[in-house]
Amino acid sequence: MPKIPDIAIEATSTIVGTSAAYQAGDPSAGYAVANFVKDRLHNIVNLFSSERQAKRILDVTQFALNEIQCRLENGERLRSDGFFNNITDRSDAEEVLEEVLLKARDEPQEKKIPYIGRLFENGCFDSTVDSGTLHFLCKESENLTFRQLCIIKIVNEMRERKYPLRSESFKNFITIREIRRNTTTEQFATLAECVALRDKGYIMFSFSSTPGIELEVLRYLIPNTMESLPTGTMMYEHMNLRSMPEEDVLPVINSLS
């Protein structure tokens, strides 16, 4: 069974610990943060079943801790509301980190992994988001495709970026089968994923006419009327989807244009 080398665990776990200690002027603060990261990594390592999973968990850990280090060096402070404190036998931070590591370990769409790591990173700083919300967002991210994360980003930035999305529906096509024949597989799937996000409560959009049956939603939805709902906005903010590269989003924009 593959194992992340101990030296890698030590290196990643001390990144944030060293910075936290320097910032707080208290070596014990850095030790506490580094220690729980190291413990979580050692525990999750024992659950690995493949070399690929080991790589994913190390990638998400290094990414999250590097981002934490950058934020600390830029003067931001770790939250001080008890997130890192052991109230029972484990702190909220430990539980959130374990959730992030497990989700990253089993995520086949590896482009999602940095954004899963962002949930832990932002949780270390933002005292307005409780651990329950972070667990919720982490579990929800597991059920979203990378393209759906792109859609959430697009919808949250539409007014700011003025993406050239389609302003008409597909109502001229009488049936869903006609829509399928007159669009590419990628376009049709992207529309279907927009509908799935609406059904999950992430986004909403206007219709050119009231759909008679659920299948007609694809005919009547108007892409440039999409708006984010609170859950979609939370996902956008705490996964830092704003940082998603333009080249990843462009194919989705083209499918909705």
SS3 204: strand
Instruction: Give the CA-trace dihedral at 116, 11, 53, 245, to 10 degrees.
Output: 40
Q: Is 19 exposed, middle or buried (0-12, 13-18, 19+ CB in 10 A)?
A: buried
Residue 144 pLDDT exceeds 80: yes
pLDDT value at position 169?
A: 78
User: What amino acid is encoded at 102 in this protein?
Assistant: L
What is the reported pTM?
0.81
Q: Is 138 exposed, middle or buried (0-12, 13-18, 19+ CB in 10 A)?
A: buried
Domain spans of the chain, in order of start: 6-142, 146-255
185-226 pLDDT, tens digit each? 888 889 889 989 998 999 998 755 454 444 557 777 888 899
b/e map of 40-54 (b: 16 or more CB within 10 Å)?
bbeebbeebeeeebb
Average pLDDT, the chain: 79
For tokens 């482009």, the residue is: 111
Percentage of residues in the chain with pLDDT exceeding 90? 35
70-102 pLDDT, tens digit each? 888 888 888 888 887 765 677 788 888 888 988
pLDDT value at position 42?
A: 59
Residues contacting residue 82 through CB under 8 Å, at least 6 positions apart: 92
